[in-house]
């Protein structure tokens, strides 16, 4: 027997051990090593789990262990196939990392029984690779994100190789289909490597897969076209498959090492990938009740059902499990035999113990510059016009300068459009394809990640954060919905990790949504949707934050705060167009710290007095329209007591019991009163405000104006008029709902209605907003008033 054959014999036994544990997790709650014949009470009453993909995952894991030990490399195992949890749990238990994290699941027969019992069992663990699974950075309950996570993990991680297993069902998803472009952004000088392993077992839940039925030649051409060097491993017989897989892995890793050693070369390298064809449900029952199981979709979940009730099925299960020869794998105490235990890597080299799979262990604090250098000068409210996101772009330039390998900016070709171009003075867009002489802001070592796929931006950023770094995702507001489901999964990941002490905190996922609904008048209805924040507000309160800064200085404070947080999802909505600036940097700091507050300078009453009406606003355009409405009301009703409240932290509207940022009942009543009308101009859909305040004393008197699903290609002000968020409609609402004005202002209401009608006619004749709107300024500027205290 040659040494290579002997090695593969041990490797095959290790693989059988993982397969045995995987089947046991799906089926058994007792008699873990079959020391007696299987009885009904040994079987779980509810059989839940997925077998079909698992033996292939175990096969790959065992082979990756071999190359880790032989080459002393750092390997991250990204498990894409949706419900491969039995394999991930089995392998981390075999290598010892599982029992180290969960000492009650010991590495003996008692621990094995607990391992089996907890799987897909009430009070136990999920059936997929989850936050509870050591070594996982990829939530396996939803398909499509594994490869983008893998690429995000290796950016700025030159020591790391991410072996990413992609199931052929997962390969049909949109997010995964665009993930293959990730190699176009890898720079072997300062990034690690991704080794995609496309696992083709031919079937999804109940259908063949498209790539599974593709010919080898078509697959080679497809992935060669993407820029890969595909290596095929295909078959059924274990001995042959071990030989093929070992050769393919060695060739792939040699290729990766060669690419990294020649990192100075200018041409784009052709990175390796492995295409593994193996039977679905490999090594399981070939048929049950005369119906094909192995190498068919029936092996997808539980190949043999009703094993408690059906004696014949229970016999099939027992024969199946005994075919792995557990006595050849585990000793009398139920421990993996020493010669097999020796095959696993040691310490942090184990994929279940990799620090890159628990990124908080590696996280370094972000260095942030002082905000004073980027502040917009505001001598008096409304005097200055500025682009808020341009000020943020200058701040991000400082972030890049101070964090050359710990921060990246992600976005779908919108960095410049969202006015963040200042970052290009210190870095460029990542670009590894050929350059033209006239190209701008493209470089192989650029740190701005742009690809016209919101899925990839989100997936890369998640992988980057989950492995210990920091970042920001900027996007047009209407199209962030594309990643609604990815946001869901990350929010769930964070929620679960809060209860896992061994999972160390990671940097927050930060969104900047610009080019927002109220300034997409030129692009039209397709670009007008503020609903992402509604989606975000549904998540657990301790996870999500929503910020609507009204100007540049508040945006700077909000962004600086968000980038320093951890284990959160922060959503910032801010416009990019020139707009009035309201607060100095110092006053913005106080306002942001409070979350919301009275703008005394904008109202018509002294502190401590009782208002007749509260004019509230959240968002930059709603703030401007609210102040313009207040300006009108001050002229019409000089003695009307108006209180202006601006909200920057949307979740502060909730009670403290509902959200950590919620203000007390006393403070809320001081802002909004217990019984006075509140005219609330809101950036998004009005129903969200009503949802957030439904427990508040004065919620019945809130009259919310926001986006009413009215949009088109028109002027900026006409967008607000169409949705009754404009100054004229807000002033009308204040008059209608203020008791002291009832029946006393009909002529003024008519005048405001005439202004609305005149506006409608004007914009359709001249194509721009009429001068009264275009030239409006807050009165303090007209009178030369300095910024009031």
Which burial class, exposed, middle or buried, applies to 121 when counting CB atoms under 10 A from its CB (0-12, 13-18, 19+)?
middle
Q: Are 555 and 620 in contact (CB under 8 A)?
A: no
Number of Cβ atoms within 10 Å of the Cβ of 174: 11
Domain boundaries, position 679: 598-782
Report yes or no on 57 lying in a domain: yes
Report yes or no on 583 lying in a domain: no
Q: Are 515 and 716 in contact (CB under 8 A)?
A: no
pLDDT tens sequence across 740-769: 998 889 999 999 999 999 999 999 999 999
Q: Name the packing angle between helices 585-594 and 552-563 (round to 10°).
A: 60
Same domain, 341 and 375: no
Report yes or no on 27 lying in a domain: yes
pLDDT at 139: 79
Same domain, 504 and 604: no
pLDDT tens sequence across 280-317: 999 999 999 999 999 999 999 999 999 999 999 999 99
The residue length of the chain stands at 789
User: What letters, b where the CB count within 10 A reaches 16 and e where it falls short, cover 65-84?
Assistant: bbbbeeeebbbbbbbbbbbb
pLDDT tens sequence across 636-695: 999 999 999 999 999 999 999 999 999 999 999 999 999 999 999 999 999 999 999 999
The Cα-based distances of 373 to 385, 392, 398, 427, 599 in angstroms read 18, 11, 10, 19, 25
The 3-state secondary structure of 125-168, one letter per residue:
ECCCCCCCCCCCCCCCCCCCCHHHHHHHHHCCCCCEEEEEEEEC
Count the alpha carbons within 13 Å of 678 in the hemisphere toward its beta carbon. Answer: 27
pLDDT tens sequence across 558-582: 999 999 999 999 999 999 999 999 9
For the CA atoms of 195, 199, 204, 208, the dihedral, rounded to the nearest 10 degrees, stands at 120
CATH number for 170: 3.40.50.970
pLDDT tens sequence across 117-155: 999 999 999 988 899 999 999 877 789 999 999 999 999
pLDDT at 784: 35
Report yes or no on 650 lying in a domain: yes
Residue 4: pLDDT band (50, 70, 90) is: low
Chain-centroid distance, C-alpha 414: 18
Of the three residues 547, 578, 609, the one that is the final residue of a domain is: 578
| Three-class SS state of 97 | helix
Same domain, 490 and 608: no
Q: What is the spatial distance between Cα 96 and Cα 112, in angstroms, rounded to a whole number?
A: 12
DSSP of 397-443, one letter per residue?
A: HHHHHH-TTTEEEEESS-TTTTT-GGGGGT--EE--S---TT--SEE
Q: Are 83 and 52 in contact (CB under 8 A)?
A: no
Same domain, 217 and 252: yes
Q: What Rg value do the Cα atoms of the chain yield, rounded?
A: 30
DSSP state of 683: S
pLDDT at 117: 97
Report yes or no on 571 lying in a domain: yes
Report yes or no on 465 lying in a domain: yes
Q: What is the spatial distance between Cα 215 and Cα 207, in angstroms, rounded to a whole number?
A: 17
- Please name the helix (run of DSSP H) or strand (run of DSSP E) that holds residue 645, with its range, or none: strand 642-647
More confident residue, 266 or 425: 425
More confident residue, 322 or 784: 322
pLDDT at 1: 37
Same domain, 652 and 558: no
- Flag whether pLDDT at 265 surpasses 80: no
Same domain, 564 and 602: no
Report yes or no on 505 lying in a domain: yes
pLDDT above 90 as % of the chain: 92
Residue 481: pLDDT band (50, 70, 90) is: very high
pLDDT tens sequence across 612-635: 999 999 999 999 999 999 999 999
Q: Are 342 and 33 in contact (CB under 8 A)?
A: no
Same domain, 285 and 403: no
Same domain, 376 and 243: no
Same domain, 530 and 608: no
Of the three residues 530, 548, 578, the one that is the final residue of a domain is: 578
Q: What is the spatial distance between Cα 340 and Cα 129, in angstroms, rounded to a whole number?
A: 24
Q: What is the spatial distance between Cα 193 and Cα 271, in angstroms, rounded to a whole number?
A: 9
Same domain, 397 and 482: yes
Total domains present in the chain: 3
Q: Are strands 596-598 and 578-580 parallel, antiparallel or unpaired?
A: unpaired
Tokens encoding 57: 């995952």
CATH number for 707: 3.40.50.920
Q: Are strands 509-514 and 569-573 parallel, antiparallel or unpaired?
A: parallel
DSSP state of 449: E
Q: What is the spatial distance between Cα 23 and Cα 317, in angstroms, rounded to a whole number?
A: 9
Tokens encoding 196: 């995609």
Residue 523: pLDDT band (50, 70, 90) is: confident
Of the three residues 543, 578, 613, the one that is the final residue of a domain is: 578
Rounded mean pLDDT of the chain?
A: 94
Q: Are 271 and 193 in contact (CB under 8 A)?
A: yes
Same domain, 336 and 475: no
Same domain, 324 and 445: no
Contacts of 676 (CB under 8 A, 6+ apart): 610, 611, 612, 613, 614, 698, 701
Residue 785: pLDDT band (50, 70, 90) is: very low
DSSP of 268-316, one letter per residue?
A: PP-EEEEEEE--TTTTS-SEETTEE-TTSGGGSS-SS--TTT-HHHHHH
Tokens encoding 418: 């969202």
Report yes or no on 585 lying in a domain: no
């Amino acid at each position: 027997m040659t040494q290579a054959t002997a090695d593969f014999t041990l490797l095959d036994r290790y693989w059988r051990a993982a397969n045995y544990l995987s089947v046991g997790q799906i089926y058994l709650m007792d008699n873990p090593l079959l020391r007696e014949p299987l009885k009904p009470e040994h079987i779980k009453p509810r059989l839940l789990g997925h077998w079909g993909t698992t033996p292939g995952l175990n096969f790959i894991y065992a082979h990756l262990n071999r190359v880790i030990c032989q080459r002393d490399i750092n390997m991250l195992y990204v498990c894409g196939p949706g419900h491969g949890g039995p394999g991930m749990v089995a392998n981390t238990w075999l290598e010892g990392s599982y029992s180290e994290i969960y000492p009650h699941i010991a590495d003996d027969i008692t621990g094995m029984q607990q391992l089996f019992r907890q799987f897909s069992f009430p009070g136990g663990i999920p059936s997929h690779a989850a936050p509870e699974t050591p070594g996982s950075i990829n939530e396996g309950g939803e398909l499509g994100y594994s490869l983008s996570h893998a690429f995000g993990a290796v950016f700025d991680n030159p020591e790391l190789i991410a072996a990413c297993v992609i199931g052929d069902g997962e390969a049909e998803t949109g997010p995964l289909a665009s993930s293959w472009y990730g190699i176009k952004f890898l720079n072997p000088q300062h990034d690690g490597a991704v080794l995609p392993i496309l696992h083709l077992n031919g079937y999804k839940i109940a259908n063949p897969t498209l790539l599974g039925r593709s010919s080898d030649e078509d697959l080679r051409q497809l992935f060669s076209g993407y820029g890969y060097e595909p290596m095929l491993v295909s078959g059924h017989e274990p001995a042959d498959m071990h030989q093929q897989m070992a050769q393919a892995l060695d060739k792939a890793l040699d290729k990766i090492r060669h690419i990294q050693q020649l990192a100075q070369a200018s041409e784009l390298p052709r990175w390796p990938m492995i295409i593994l064809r193996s039977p679905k449900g490999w090594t399981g029952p070939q048929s049950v009740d005369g119906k094909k199981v192995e190498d068919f979709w029936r092996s997808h979940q539980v190949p043999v059902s009703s094993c408690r009730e059906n004696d014949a099925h229970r016999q099939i299960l027992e024969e199946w499990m005994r075919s792995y020869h557990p006595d050849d794998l585990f000793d009398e105490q139920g421990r993996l035999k020493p010669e097999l235990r020796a095959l696993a890597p040691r310490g942090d080299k184990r994929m279940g113990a990799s620090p890159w799979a628990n990124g908080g262990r590696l996280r370094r604090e972000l260095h942030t510059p002082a905000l004073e250098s980027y502040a917009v000068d505001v001598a008096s409210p409304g005097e200055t016009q500025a682009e808020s996101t341009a000020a943020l772009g200058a701040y991000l330039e400082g972030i890049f300068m101070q964090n050359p390998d710990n921060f990246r900016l992600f976005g779908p070709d919108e960095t410049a459009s969202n006015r963040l171009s200042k970052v290009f003075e210190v870095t460029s867009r990542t670009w590894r394809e050929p350059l033209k002489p006239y190209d701008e802001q493209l470089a192989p070592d650029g740190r701005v990640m742009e690809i016209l796929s919101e899925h990839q931006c989100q997936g890369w950023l998640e992988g980057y954060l989950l492995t210990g770094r920091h970042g920001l995702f900027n996007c047009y507001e209407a199209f962030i919905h594309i990643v609604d489901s990815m946001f869901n999964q990350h929010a769930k990941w964070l929620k679960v990790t809060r209860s896992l002490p061994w999972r160390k905190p990671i940097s927050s996922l930060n969104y900047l949504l610009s080019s927002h609904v109220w300034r997409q008048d030129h692009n039209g209805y397709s670009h007008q949707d503020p609903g992402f924040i509604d989606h975000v507000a549904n998540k657990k309160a301790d996870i999500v934050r929503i910020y609507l800064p009204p100007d540049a200085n508040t945006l700077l404070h909000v962004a600086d705060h968000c980038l320093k947080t951890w284990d959160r999802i922060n959503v910032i909505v801010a416009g990019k167009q020139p707009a009035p600036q309201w607060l100095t940097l110092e006053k913005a700091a106080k306002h942001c710290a409070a979350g919301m507050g009275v703008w005394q300078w904008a109202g018509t009453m002294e502190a401590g007095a009782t208002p007749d009406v509260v004019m509230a606003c959240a968002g930059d355009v709603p703030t401007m329209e609210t102040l313009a409405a207040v300006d009108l009301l001050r002229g019409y009703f000089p003695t009307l007591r108006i209180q202006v409240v601006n909200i920057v932290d949307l979740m502060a509207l909730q009670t403290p019991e509902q959200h950590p940022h919620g203000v007390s009942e006393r403070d809320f009543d001081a802002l909004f009163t217990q019984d006075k009308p509140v005219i609330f101009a809101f950036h998004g859909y009005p129903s969200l405000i009503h949802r957030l305040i439904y427990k508040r004393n004065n919620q019945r008197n809130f009259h919310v104006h926001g986006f009413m699903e009215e949009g088109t290609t028109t002027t900026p002000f006409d967008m607000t008029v169409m949705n009754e968020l404009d100054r004229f409609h807000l002033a009308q609402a204040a008059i209608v709902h203020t008791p002291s004005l009832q029946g006393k202002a009909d002529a003024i209401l008519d005048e405001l209605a005439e202004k609305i009608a005149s506006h409608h006619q004007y914009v359709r004749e001249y194509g721009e907003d009429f001068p009264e709107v275009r030239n409006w300024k807050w009165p303090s500027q007209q009178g030369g008033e300095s910024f009031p205290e």
